[in-house]
Chains A and B, each alone.
Chain A
Amino acid sequence: MISSGERELELLIGPQHPASGHMRLVAKVDGDVVVELRPNIGYVHRSVEKLAEVKKYLQIIPLVERPSLADTTANNLAYVMALEKLLGIEPPERAKYLRTLLAEINRIHSHLYGLGIHGVMIGSSTAYMWCFGDREPFLELAQELTGARLTYSYIIPGGVRRDLPAGLGERAERVLRYMENRMRDYFNLYFNNPVVRARLEGVGVLSRHDAINLGITGPNLRASGVAYDVRRAEPYAAYPELEFDIVTEEAGDSFARVMVRVREIVESMRIIRQVIRKIPEGPILHESYEKLIPPKLRESMKQRGMVKFPSVFANLRVPPGEAISRVEGGRGEVVFHIVSDGKLSPYRMRMVTPSFRNVILFEHLTRGVRVADIPAIYGSLDYFPPEADR
């Protein structure tokens, strides 16, 4: 209701709205112009941090994967890296390469997921279908490597669970060539489409200065011209040995954020090729755990390329102390902080997800835009409510 003299109307978008995700956007509009937009988050909070305090260390691996379902490897890897710092072990080289391989496959399909959702938000259901369809070959690769489509739980303390299946490198190469060919059509049909450009260019501009001050992370930060990537700033897994560029764009608008993701897909494909070419031979589980496995089992495990857990994993005891780890996930920087008091569960686990750090952009970027620009900005942020709520 608007009483006389008042100009603003409060518009509630969500939480049961197809384009709002699991959240509510409270918009104040003056005609078609957004005066203020406040994100109302927390609808899918599932208390991962508190639950972690009653779960044993290994049981937390599937738990931290759940919040960001499209980008599970980043959380899995960051958690295990923090755990390994506490345990004082370093995974073998081959395991590091396999971690990198899965992380990059995951980055590609996470980006395609984000691009697809953005596509359907601005009304291009073709882009949505294409992106989701083209995730499928990458999911197929990941499934062959890990045994699951999304919830991989692939990275364990001291290594990874499965070795590279025979012939996967060759099949991955076919998928990468397919994606490269498809990219041309993506540009023709979608990214260079004047309708798409008109919806995205110059919309939701985030300046370099604001991006840094607001603590924005991931592709959204790089789209504003800041070349910051954890893979380069604090290299982990096999990244120090691989060549890749940090993708940046200068414009800082919705289209630049989309372009960063598209170019990162290309960059990830470059990394995957290098991993497959360079992957060293050797064990995939740390020797201190491998020697705990009964000899007969160890033989069959090496033959099948599937790791058996040593029985200490059921009740993994971690020395008291604190550890922090950072990983560049698909949506940005994932940080884990584990405080251990030497018991079977962490005393405290802190999980910082990129979506939570980027949610402030809803308020910041939408002042003075048109109502129809809200989805164009929302989608370009690749914001994932469950990941922010945790």
Chain B
Amino acid sequence: MSLSRTVRHAKAILTGFKYLFAGPRLTLMYPDDIQELPEGYRGMIEYDWDSCIKCSLCAMVCPADAMKMYVSKEESEREGKVVKRPGINYTRCIFCGFCVDICPTDSLRFTKVHDVAYYTYEEQIYPPAEFSKGVPRPLYLREPRKVRAVLDERRGIRYEPARS
């Protein structure tokens, strides 16, 4: 009984000792390294002004009321009827991607950007005109290294420099 306990103590200490020198290191050194995200990652959303048919399905399906239809003044006056276009509020968005998936013309698309910081609340609300300008590029102090997560049999995850 006590012998087996001693053995198990020793095994625990030896295992810990082994991991001091070798063992998986899973830390991603963000923001010096940034991970290249997989295809179809649900990040911030891109809006294409020209292909949008203003059907407002995106606003209807949005579970968080982040996507809203704004009256487009200029277009309404020109066409003599109320024309609405979508805008997004990133303080509410939960990145479920329902709006992208329901868009019948692929005017809304996922981007892989997800790490943008804002100074004010108002900046995070994008009316249609700003929304169509594309997603902001996150600012880094130094240009980060792009890495790719490689799933590895021995180390779990290995971060390798991405070939661009």
Chain A residues within CB distance 8 Å of chain B: 55-56, 58-63, 126, 133-134, 136-137, 140-141, 143-144, 146-148, 151, 153, 161-162, 165, 171, 174-175, 177-178, 181-182, 185, 188-190, 192-195, 294, 297, 300, 304, 306-309, 311, 313-315
Task: Enumerate chain B residues within 8 angstroms of A308, measured Cβ to Cβ.
Answer: 101-104
Q: Which of B77-100 contact A (CB under 8 A)?
A: 94-98
Task: Enumerate chain A residues within 8 angstroms of B63, measured Cβ to Cβ.
Answer: 55, 58-63
Is there contact, CB below 8 Å, between B12 and A137? no
The 3 nearest A-B residue pairs measured at CB: A59-B63, A147-B42, A314-B60
Task: Enumerate chain B residues within 8 angstroms of A55, measured Cβ to Cβ.
Answer: 63
If A297-B106, A311-B57 are given as contacts, then 15 extra A-B residue pairs at C-beta distance below 8 Å, sorted by A number, are A56-B61, A58-B63, A62-B98, A126-B16, A136-B156, A140-B151, A153-B96, A171-B151, A178-B152, A178-B156, A182-B24, A188-B12, A189-B11, A309-B102, A311-B104
Picked from B18, B101, B149, the residue with its CB within 8 Å of the CB of A161 is: B101
Picked from A63, A126, A137, A190, the residue with its CB within 8 Å of the CB of B156 is: A137
Task: Enumerate chain B residues within 8 angstroms of A147, measured Cβ to Cβ.
Answer: 38, 40-42, 97, 110
A-B CB pair tally, cutoff 8 Å: 126
Nearest CB of B to A381, in Å: 25
Is there contact, CB below 8 Å, between B11 and A192? yes
Is there contact, CB below 8 Å, between A151 and B96? yes
Nearest CB of A to B109, in Å: 11
Q: Does B155 contact A (CB under 8 A)?
A: yes
Task: Enumerate chain B residues within 8 angstroms of A58, measured Cβ to Cβ.
Answer: 61, 63, 98
What number of B residues sit within 8 Å (CB to CB) of A? 44
Is there contact, CB below 8 Å, between A309 and B152? no
Task: Enumerate chain B residues within 8 angstroms of A174, measured Cβ to Cβ.
Answer: 151-153
Is there contact, CB below 8 Å, between B151 and A137? yes
Residue of B nearest to A189 (CB): B15
- A192 to B16 CA separation, bound complex (whole angstroms): 13
Is there contact, CB below 8 Å, between A137 and B153? no
Task: Enumerate chain A residues within 8 angstroms of B102, measured Cβ to Cβ.
Answer: 308-309, 311, 313-314
- A151 to B114 CA separation, bound complex (whole angstroms): 14
Task: Enumerate chain A residues within 8 angstroms of B61, measured Cβ to Cβ.
Answer: 56, 58-59, 309, 313-314
Is there contact, CB below 8 Å, between A193 and B156? no
Q: Does B26 contact A (CB under 8 A)?
A: yes
Task: Enumerate chain A residues within 8 angstroms of B110, measured Cβ to Cβ.
Answer: 147
- 6 CB-based A-B contacts, threshold 8 Å: A55-B63, A62-B63, A134-B156, A137-B151, A181-B154, A306-B101
Residue of A nearest to B103 (CB): A308
Interface string of B128-153 (1 = CB under 8 A from A): 00000000000000000000010111
Task: Enumerate chain A residues within 8 angstroms of B5, measured Cβ to Cβ.
Answer: 194
Is there contact, CB below 8 Å, between A143 and B38? yes
- A190 to B18 CA separation, bound complex (whole angstroms): 14
Q: Does B34 contact A (CB under 8 A)?
A: no
Q: Does B157 contact A (CB under 8 A)?
A: yes
- A312 to B97 CA separation, bound complex (whole angstroms): 16
Task: Enumerate chain B residues within 8 angstroms of A195, measured Cβ to Cβ.
Answer: 12
Nearest CB of A to B26, in Å: 5
Q: Does B50 contact A (CB under 8 A)?
A: no
Is there contact, CB below 8 Å, between B26 and A133? yes
Residue of A nearest to B149 (CB): A140
Task: Enumerate chain A residues within 8 angstroms of B41, measured Cβ to Cβ.
Answer: 143, 147-148
Is there contact, CB below 8 Å, between A192 and B12? yes
Q: Does B39 contact A (CB under 8 A)?
A: yes
- A148 to B153 CA separation, bound complex (whole angstroms): 23
Task: Enumerate chain A residues within 8 angstroms of B26, measured Cβ to Cβ.
Answer: 133, 136
Q: Which of B21-79 contact A (CB under 8 A)?
A: 24, 26, 37-42, 55, 57, 60-64
Task: Enumerate chain B residues within 8 angstroms of A181, measured Cβ to Cβ.
Answer: 153-154
- A192 to B4 CA separation, bound complex (whole angstroms): 10
- A194 to B38 CA separation, bound complex (whole angstroms): 42
